Amino acid sequence: MVFRKLPGVSASGMGLRLSQKFVFLLFLSGLVTLCFGALFFLPDSVRLKRIFLSKTETQPVTVGSGSENDAREHLKRPKDPEHPRGMTPARGETSTRLKSLSRKPTVSREATEARLAGGKAQEDFTLPRSRTESASAKATSSDRDGHSDTFSYDKFKGCLLKPPLGRDNGRPTDPQTNERREKVKEMMKFSWDNYKRYAWGKNELRPLTRNGHIGNMFGGLRGASIIDSLDTLYIMGLMEEYNDAKEWVQTSLDLNSNGEASLFEVNIRYVGGLLAAYYLTGEEMYKTKVMELGEKLLPAFNTPTGIPRGVINLGSGTSWSWGWASAGSSILAEFGTLHLEFVHLTELSRNPIYTEKVMNIRKLLNKIEKPHGLYPNFLSPVSGNWVQHHVSIGGLGDSFYEYLIKSYLMSDKRDEDAKKMYYSALEAIEANLVQKSPGGLTYMAEWRGGILDHKMGHLACFSGGMIGIGADDGAPEKRQHFLDLAAEITHTCHESYTRSATKLGPEAFRFDGGGEATATRLSDRYYILRPEVIESYMYMWRLTHDPKYREWGWEAVEALEQHCRVESGFSGIRDVYTLTASHDNMQQSFFLSETLKYLYLLFSDDDLLPLEDWVLNTEAHPLPIIRKSCLQDEATQDKTVSE
* Residue-wise DSSP of 377-431: SEE-TTT--EEE-EE-SSTTTHHHHHHHHHHHHHTTS--HHHHHHHHHHHHHHHH
**Average pLDDT value for residue range 27-54:** 45
Is the pLDDT at 37 greater than 70? The verdict is no
CA dist list (Å): 74 to 69, 79, 299, 609: 9, 14, 17, 45
Q: Is residue 169 part of a domain?
A: yes
Share of the chain above pLDDT 90, in %: 72
**What pLDDT is stored for residue 513 in this prediction?**
78
**Average pLDDT value for residue range 285-314:** 98
Q: Is residue 101 part of a domain?
A: no
Q: Is residue 75 part of a domain?
A: yes
- The domain total for the chain is 1
Q: How far apart are CA 270 and CA 309, in angstroms?
A: 18
**What pLDDT is stored for residue 258 in this prediction?**
87
CATH code: domain of residue 494: 1.50.10.10
Q: Is residue 627 part of a domain?
A: yes
Q: Is residue 637 part of a domain?
A: yes
Q: Which of 69-73, 122-126, 228-232 has the highest mean pLDDT?
A: 228-232
- Indicate the residue type of 301: F
**What pLDDT is stored for residue 635 in this prediction?**
43
Is the pLDDT at 292 greater than 60? The verdict is yes
Look up 507 and say whether it is catalytic. Answer: yes
For 83-127, what is each residue's pLDDT tens digit?
444 333 333 333 333 333 444 443 332 333 232 233 322 333 333
**What pLDDT is stored for residue 75 in this prediction?**
29
Q: Is residue 603 part of a domain?
A: yes
| Backbone dihedral angles phi then psi of residue 518, each to the nearest 5 degrees | -135, 155
Sign of torsion, CA 326 330 333 336? negative
For 600-618, what is each residue's pLDDT tens digit?
999 999 999 999 999 999 9
For 467-523, what is each residue's pLDDT tens digit?
999 999 988 999 999 999 999 999 999 999 999 999 999 999 999 977 899 999 999
Q: Which is catalytic among the residues 356, 402, 507, 619?
A: 507
Which stretch of DSSP H or E encloses residue 457?
Answer: strand 455-457
Determine which of 77-91, 168-182, 338-352, 477-491 has the lowest per-residue pLDDT on average. 77-91
Determine which of 45-49, 169-173, 387-391 has the lowest per-residue pLDDT on average. 45-49
| Backbone dihedral angles phi then psi of residue 190, each to the nearest 5 degrees | -60, -45
Q: Is residue 2 part of a domain?
A: no
CA dist list (Å): 476 to 292, 406, 413, 417, 480: 43, 19, 15, 18, 8
**Average pLDDT value for residue range 289-306:** 98
The larger pLDDT score, comparing residue 239 to residue 105, is at: 239
Domain that holds residue 212: 66-87+129-642
- Band (190; pLDDT cuts 50, 70, 90): very high
**Average pLDDT value for residue range 563-571:** 98
For 5-15, what is each residue's pLDDT tens digit?
333 333 334 44
**What pLDDT is stored for residue 152 in this prediction?**
93
With 0-12 CB in 10 A as exposed, 13-18 as middle and 19+ as buried, what is 486? buried
**Average pLDDT value for residue range 199-208:** 98
- Band (326; pLDDT cuts 50, 70, 90): confident
Mean per-residue pLDDT of the chain: 83
For 128-173, what is each residue's pLDDT tens digit?
333 333 444 444 444 433 344 789 999 999 999 999 999 999 999 9
The strand pairing partners of 451, in sequence order, are: 448
Q: Is residue 51 part of a domain?
A: no
**What pLDDT is stored for residue 231 in this prediction?**
98
